[in-house]
């Protein structure tokens, strides 16, 4: 499986971002665990999916390095603003 990504950081939080307007991420929980490993993966605090939204330009889904889905991350939101 090939996925295009962008890695960005805001105030020390570094996440791996996926544009889900152009591709789908099948299992974001497992992908976050695998890719966030700083020794054997890309390394980061987790992954962020930039997804289509019915009420805004985009919506965010953020997964921590342990695979749990976070409710909010201001630093990731700032990076998405720059990305968009």
Structural domain contains residue 12: yes
Which of 40, 34, 43, 39 is closest to 67 using CA atoms?
34
Q: Is 16 helix (H, G, I), strand (E, B) or coil?
A: strand
Structural domain contains residue 17: yes
- What average pLDDT does this structure show over 43-54? 97
Mean of the per-residue pLDDT values of the chain: 95
Structural domain contains residue 32: yes
pLDDT for the residue 19: 98
1 falls in which pLDDT band (50, 70, 90)? Answer: confident
Residue 20 CB coordination number (10 Å)? 19
63-84 pLDDT, tens digit per residue, is 999 999 999 999 999 999 999 9
pLDDT for the residue 40: 92
- What average pLDDT does this structure show over 9-30? 95
Number of domains within the chain: 1
CATH of the domain at 32: 3.10.310.10
16 falls in which pLDDT band (50, 70, 90)? Answer: very high
Angle, CA 36 vertex, CA 19 and CA 66 arms, to 5° = 105
Q: Which domain holds residue 13?
A: 6-83
54 Cβ partners below 8 Å, 6+ apart? Answer: none
Structural domain contains residue 1: no
């Amino acid at each position: 499986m090939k996925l295009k990504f962008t890695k960005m950081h805001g105030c020390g939080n570094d996440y791996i971002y996926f544009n889900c307007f152009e591709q789908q991420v099948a299992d974001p929980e497992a992908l976050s665990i695998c890719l966030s490993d700083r020794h054997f993966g890309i390394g980061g605090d987790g992954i962020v999916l930039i997804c289509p939204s019915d009420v805004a330009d985009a919506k965010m889904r953020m997964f921590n390095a342990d695979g749990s889905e976070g409710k909010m991350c201001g630093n990731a939101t700032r990076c998405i603003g720059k990305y968009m």
